[in-house]
Structure formats: structure tokens, C-alpha cells
Amino acid sequence: MSRRERLERALLYLVVEAAAASVLDPALRGGVDVVQLRDKDLPDDSLLEAAVLFRRTCERHDALFILNDRADLVIEADADGVHVGQRDMPVAEARRLVGDERLVGLSVAARDQLDAMEGADYLGVGAVFGTPIKPDATVTGLELAAEAAARAPVPVFAIGGIDETNVADVVGAGVRRIAVVRAIRDADDPEIAARRLRAYLER
């Protein structure tokens, strides 16, 4: 199955830093489909070292492994793709670096950015709710994610402050894919947390 076919089937996306590698196995057992390694402060050699563990763990569970921001390291890290923000390199430049077979994801936080998503394989839309992970992020509410899910020809993952207390609202707005950090990373049992979130998405 190709990377894009696996992406099309994905519902639950986990974003974590290298230090949170211990949650990967239980989270993936619980139903996470995509894992993004996001660690902007790590030097390149440490990031690539972490990527080896992330990739191997994802492979064991047939999950996609995405590297945040560093399109220039995707090939060396043997990642399935890269995720870029609006202030990172353009999608076209990321595509040039990773090639046609790997995935390029794009963060979207405003309606006009939906009109400039050409070339992206998926979108991360939000912050849907406020989140301490990115306290300066624009809170978009559910409307933008719902519009993106209805309009975009690629998978759309709502992100930002989503957890078990509000995931039903996300699904109710018409968005069936989510990306999370704390809801799984900081859970007492990451496997159970992932399983519960996925149950909402599969309804």
C-alpha cells in the first residue's frame, strides 16, 4: 500500500518530541496511524538519532512517520514525509527536497491559506481550541477545520487542544481526523487514551 493510500485511511495523528519516545509503542497499539517527530531545538545529529527509533517503532505498527519542518533531513531520516508550517519553507520547496513519493503536510490557520494549499498531501488545521503547547497560536474554532474537511481534496486533521472532552464536538462538526499532543503524550495510559480517541473517530 502506498504512503498516500495509508494516509487516506489515517484517522489519528500524534505529534511528539524525541524525549517522549516511550509513548510511541503504547500509542501505536492504541490506534495512532501517523507519528510526527517535532523537536525544533535538537541538533541535526540528535534529531537523526531520534528518527531511527521513531521510524523503527512506526514500521512495527505499519504507521507513517513524519518529520516536522526539516525537509532537508527527510531522506536521511528515511521518514515518510515532512510537515511544514506557514512560516517554514513553501510546499513546493519541501516537495523538491523530499520527492514525489513522500508526503508533504501543511499547517493551515486561516481561510485564505486554504486557497494556497496546492501540492500538499494533507492539512493540519487549527488551533481548533486553545493549547499551552502553542500559547501564541491563533485559535480558529471548529468552523475552519469543518470548512477545510468539506473543501479540501486531501485529508484534513484538526489540531489544537483536542482531547477526550471535546473530540465529540470535532466529529460532530464533520471532521473525522485529528492530530494531538498532550491527549496521548501526557495520558496516564497512552494506549487507552489513543483507543478512546479513535473510538470517537470511527463512529
Query: In the 8-state DSSP scheme, what is residue 189?
Result: S
Average pLDDT over residues 88-92: 95
d(CA 91, CA 113): 12
In 3D space, the residue among 179, 191, 74 whose CA is nearest the CA of residue 134 turns out to be 179
Superfamily of domain 3-104+159-201: Aldolase class I (3.20.20.70)
Three-state SS annotation for 49-108: HHHHHHHHHHHHCCCEEEEECCHHHHHHHCCCEEEECCCCCCHHHHHHHHCCCCEEEEEE
Residue keyed to cell 487542544: 161
Give me 85's grid cell: 508550517
Chain centre distance of CA 199: 18
Q: What are phi and psi of 3, to 5 degrees?
A: -60, -40
Model pLDDT, residue 25: 98
Q: What are 19-37's pLDDT values in tens digits?
A: 999 999 999 999 999 999 9
Quickly state the pLDDT bin for 9 (edges 50, 70, 90).
Answer: very high
Residue 45 exposed, middle or buried by CB count within 10 Å (0-12, 13-18, 19+): exposed
What is the tens place of the pLDDT at every residue in 131-189?
Answer: 787 777 788 899 999 999 999 999 999 999 999 999 999 999 999 999 999 999 999 99
Task: Give the cell for residue 14.
Answer: 500524534
pLDDT in tens, 39-87: 999 999 999 999 999 999 999 999 999 999 999 999 999 999 999 999 9
Per-position b or e across 103-121, b if 16+ CB within 10 A of its CB? bbbbbbbeeebbeebeebb
Where is pLDDT greater, at 133 or 10? 10
Q: Which residue has the higher pLDDT, 34 or 203?
A: 34
- HSE on the CB side for 157, CA within 13 Å? 31
Position 105 confidence tier, pLDDT thresholds 50, 70, 90: very high
What per-residue confidence (pLDDT) applies to 115?
86
Q: For the residues 84-99, what does the mean pLDDT come to?
A: 96
Task: Write phi, then psi, for 180 (nearest 5 degrees).
Answer: -135, 160
**Alpha-carbon gap, residue 37 to 63, rounded angstroms:** 13
pLDDT at 138: 81
